[in-house]
């Protein structure tokens, strides 16, 4: 091992980014909800963990109908989380701790409480105020049929009627009206919002629903009537080549203007949430002069299956490489079932073994990686909620038919033996989502004291990743192995991930750098992974 050189020119090409779901990270003021000061107090934890950056989910003023993705003011912090001055202080403190800061930008929609939408409701049909959103007359006699057949991702029609009879579009909740990106005023506003945060020192943006901003002229029907409707509308065809509201070619001129702006602010980066089907389509978002990165949903949604993972890794390295972008890897976020539960097949111990191996797989691959808060503790999806405790609009809008995302959003267990495990200080209100009492066994404090814990595994892996020449480069090559083993070289190091039910012997003389389970007799156990020097 050699010492790390000075920071690479483009930090985001190889960065490990930790996702701070602010509502559930750390609560300093005792209201049961995470906040800016809570993040500040835990910066040493994040720096010691060894990540390069944090991505903070929306902290802007918001009625919190969709946990902050309904933004009422993009230039202020929600009082639930703190103040603008506090956020500026956090950005400075994070930088002092050696951490970059990525914030969310939510350009597809605003909150219905945003000043623009209030003005639109107060103004007449056809007014410039309405032209920032997608207001249309309805169909049918009296205009009481929605303007087209689009469905909300959260269930039900994508249109809501206002008292004067017009309808407005919302691809998500009715409290999240879609903006009209064919309106130059909308484009200018977002350039100004980006600049507002760049001036405050942020190092990048995660772009919410990046593939949804542009709608086809005339808002044509999708033709859902021809398809069987599932209980959850997201199963509908997001991915066709000419979809009226996903993945439209005109998106890219928006992103080119964003990239040009960010280039004026040093090395600021964008990572897009753009789930657009096969990985080959992702390349369009990371072409030179466009966004820097996109979340790799095909990897995130892959089953624990060697053939499936090998294929997605191959295609990712090829596709991002051809576009000149670093590959991206991610195993969890605030919208999906926790990785330890996804890979469990009903057996929590197996889920944890696989989640640990998957972490070494992800962090062992070339390019950038995203760690969702709590995954470094190996925590599981929480399923103990009564219907009255659930808060996700997906659950509420589907009348409970769709479970929703609360189970991966539960406040973190930091220390102590009972809830709230120092998520909040003593005497605080209960956490906004109830924590399992069993989390006493997995608090950060307990895991820090245990060299075999999942937290220690992450800390060791991140240390090796930073310090070792092999992992610092972008080199990647498969090494011969049985079909159920993912085995690849990273320059002078190598990674073996064993998805088979037999031990996988490492080459004679291998020096293990980090392992998700102790290699026995020089072999990686089933459902485990190791990094080694040959
Ligand atoms: C994607 C975000 O990750 C999700 O949490 C949110 O509900 C939707 N976009 C709508 O903004």
**CATH numbers and ranges of domains, the chain:** 11-107+185-212+250-380+407-426+437-454 (3.20.20.80), 472-533 (2.60.40.1180)
- List the residue whose alpha carbon is closest to atom 11 of ligand 1: 69
H or E element at residue 350: helix 348-364
The pLDDT score that the predictor gives to residue 225 is 52
H or E element at residue 91: helix 84-96
User: 440 C-alpha to center of ligand 1: Å?
Assistant: 30
User: 278 C-alpha to center of ligand 1: Å?
Assistant: 20
User: 69 C-alpha to center of ligand 1: Å?
Assistant: 6
Measured CA distances, 445 to 291, 413, 424 (Å): 38, 9, 15
Q: Which candidate in 66, 273, 290, 381 is catalytic?
A: 273
Strands 511-515 and 504-505, sheet pairing: unpaired
Q: By the 8 A CB rule, do 7 and 48 touch?
A: no
- What does the block give as tokens for 414? 């930091």
Q: Which candidate in 27, 78, 208, 375 is catalytic?
A: 208
**Cα 169 to chain centroid, rounded:** 25
* Best of 24, 56, 64, 66 for a ligand 1 pocket test (most atoms within 8 Å of beta carbon): 66
User: 290 C-alpha to center of ligand 1: Å?
Assistant: 22
What's phi and psi for 218, nearest 5 deg?
Answer: 85, -5
The pLDDT score that the predictor gives to residue 2 is 41
What's phi and psi for 268, nearest 5 deg?
Answer: -65, 145
- List the residue whose alpha carbon is closest to atom 3 of ligand 1: 335
Please enumerate in sequence order all residues whose Cβ is within 8 A of that of 438, keeping only pairs 6 or more positions apart, or say none.
none
Helical axes 251-263 vs 184-199, angle rounded to 10°? 30
* Best of 19, 22, 62, 69 for a ligand 1 pocket test (most atoms within 8 Å of beta carbon): 69
User: 334 C-alpha to center of ligand 1: Å?
Assistant: 9
Ligand 1 atom with the shortest distance to the CA of 172: 10
The pLDDT score that the predictor gives to residue 267 is 81
Angle at 168 between CA 162 and CA 171, to 5 degrees: 135
Ligand 1 atom with the shortest distance to the CA of 108: 11
Measured CA distances, 181 to 131, 148, 336 (Å): 10, 18, 28
- List the residue whose alpha carbon is closest to atom 10 of ligand 1: 69
Going residue by residue through the chain, which has 534 residues, state the pLDDT in tens, using 9 for 90 and above: 344 444 456 899 999 999 999 999 999 999 999 999 999 999 999 999 999 999 999 999 999 999 999 999 999 999 999 999 999 999 999 999 999 999 999 999 999 999 999 999 999 999 999 999 999 999 999 999 999 999 898 888 999 999 999 999 999 999 999 999 999 999 999 999 999 999 999 999 999 999 999 999 999 998 765 444 443 334 344 556 678 999 999 999 999 999 999 999 988 999 999 998 889 999 999 999 999 999 999 999 999 999 999 999 999 999 999 999 999 999 999 999 999 999 999 999 999 999 999 999 999 999 999 999 999 999 999 999 999 999 999 998 888 988 999 999 999 999 999 999 999 999 999 999 999 999 999 999 999 999 999 999 999 999 999 999 999 888 999 999 999 999 999 999 999 999 999 999 999 999 999 999 999 899 999 999 999 999
The pLDDT score that the predictor gives to residue 397 is 85
User: 178 C-alpha to center of ligand 1: Å?
Assistant: 13
The pLDDT score that the predictor gives to residue 398 is 85
The pLDDT score that the predictor gives to residue 224 is 66
Please enumerate in sequence order all residues whose Cβ is within 8 A of that of 141, keeping only pairs 6 or more positions apart, or say none.
none
Please enumerate in sequence order all residues whose Cβ is within 8 A of that of 473, keeping only pairs 6 or more positions apart, or say none.
366, 490, 491
* Best of 23, 60, 102, 172 for a ligand 1 pocket test (most atoms within 8 Å of beta carbon): 172
Q: Which residues line ligand 1 (CB under 6 A)?
A: 66, 69, 106, 172, 208-209, 273, 334-335
Ligand 1 atom with the shortest distance to the CA of 333: 3
* Best of 57, 110, 335, 394 for a ligand 1 pocket test (most atoms within 8 Å of beta carbon): 335
User: 66 C-alpha to center of ligand 1: Å?
Assistant: 8
Residues 438, 430: Cα–Cα separation, whole Å = 17
Q: Is 208 a catalytic residue?
A: yes
Ligand 1 atom with the shortest distance to the CA of 154: 7
Ligand 1 atom with the shortest distance to the CA of 69: 11
User: 57 C-alpha to center of ligand 1: Å?
Assistant: 10
Ligand 1 atom with the shortest distance to the CA of 66: 7
194 half-sphere exposure, CB direction, 13 A CA radius: 27
DSSP 46: H
Of the candidates 4, 98, 91, 3, the residue with the CA atom closest to the CA atom of residue 44: 98
Residues 412, 432: Cα–Cα separation, whole Å = 11
The pLDDT score that the predictor gives to residue 207 is 98
DSSP string, 106-169: --SB--TTSHHHHHHHHSPTTSTTGGGBTEE--BSGGG-B-SS--B-TTSSBSEEE-TTS-EEE
Strands 511-515 and 528-533, sheet pairing: antiparallel
């Amino acid at each position: 091992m050699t010492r790390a050189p000075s920071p690479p020119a483009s930090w985001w090409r190889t960065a490990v980014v930790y996702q701070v779901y602010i509502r559930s990270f750390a609560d300093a003021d005792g209201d049961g909800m995470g906040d800016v000061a809570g993040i500040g107090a835990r910066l040493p934890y994040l720096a010691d963990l060894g990540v390069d950056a944090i991505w903070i989910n929306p902290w802007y003023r918001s009625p919190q109908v969709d946990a902050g993705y309904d933004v009422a003011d993009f230039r202020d912090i929600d009082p639930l989380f703190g103040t603008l001055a506090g956020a500026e202080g956090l950005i400075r403190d994070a930088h002092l701790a050696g951490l970059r800061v990525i914030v969310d930008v939510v350009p597809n929609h605003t909150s219905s409480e945003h000043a623009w939408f209030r003005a639109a409701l107060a103004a007449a049909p056809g007014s410039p105020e309405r032209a920032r959103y997608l207001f249309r007359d309805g169909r049918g006699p009296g205009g009481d049929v929605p303007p087209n057949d689009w469905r909300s991702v959260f269930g039900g029609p994508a249109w809501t009627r206002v008292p004067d009879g017009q309808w407005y579009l919302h691809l998500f909740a009715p409290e999240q009206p879609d903006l009209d990106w064919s309106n130059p005023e909308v484009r200018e506003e977002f350039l100004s919002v980006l600049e507002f945060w760049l001036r405050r020192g942020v190092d990048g943006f995660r772009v919410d629903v990046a593939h949804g901003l542009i709608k086809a002229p005339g808002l044509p029907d999708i033709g859902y009537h021809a398809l069987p409707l599932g209980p959850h509308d997201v199963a509908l065809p997001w991915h066709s080549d000419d979809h009226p509201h996903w993945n439209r070619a005109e998106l890219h001129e928006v992103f080119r203007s964003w990239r040009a702006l960010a280039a004026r602010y040093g090395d600021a980066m964008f990572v897009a949430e753009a789930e657009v089907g096969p990985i080959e389509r992702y390349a369009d978002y990371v072409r030179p002069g466009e966004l820097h990165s996109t979340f790799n949903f095909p990897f995130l949604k892959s089953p624990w299956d060697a053939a499936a993972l090998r294929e997605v890794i191959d295609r990712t390295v090829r596709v991002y490489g051809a576009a000149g972008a670093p590959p991206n890897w991610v195993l969890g976020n605030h919208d999906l079932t926790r990785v330890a539960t996804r890979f469990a097949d009903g057996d929590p111990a197996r889920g944890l073994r696989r989640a640990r191996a998957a972490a070494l797989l992800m962090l062992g691959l070339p390019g950038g990686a995203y760690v969702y808060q709590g995954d470094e503790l190996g925590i599981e999806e929480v399923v103990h909620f009564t219907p009255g405790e659930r808060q996700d609009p997906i659950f509420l809008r589907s009348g409970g038919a769709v479970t929703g995302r609360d189970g991966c959003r539960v406040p973190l267990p930091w220390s102590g033996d009972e809830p709230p495990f120092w998520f909040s200080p003593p005497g605080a209100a209960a956490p906004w989502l109830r924590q399992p009492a069993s989390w006493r066994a997995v608090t950060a404090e307990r895991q820090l004291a245990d060299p075999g814990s999942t937290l220690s595994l992450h800390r060791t892996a991140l240390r090796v990743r930073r310090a070792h020449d092999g992992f610092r480069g972008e080199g990647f090559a498969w090494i011969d192995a049985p079909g159920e083993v993912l085995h690849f070289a990273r320059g002078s190091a190598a990674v073996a991930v064993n998805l088979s039910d037999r031990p996988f012997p490492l080459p004679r003389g291998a020096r293990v750098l980090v392992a998700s389970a102790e290699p026995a007799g020089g072999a990686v156990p089933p459902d485990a992974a190791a990094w080694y020097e040959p």
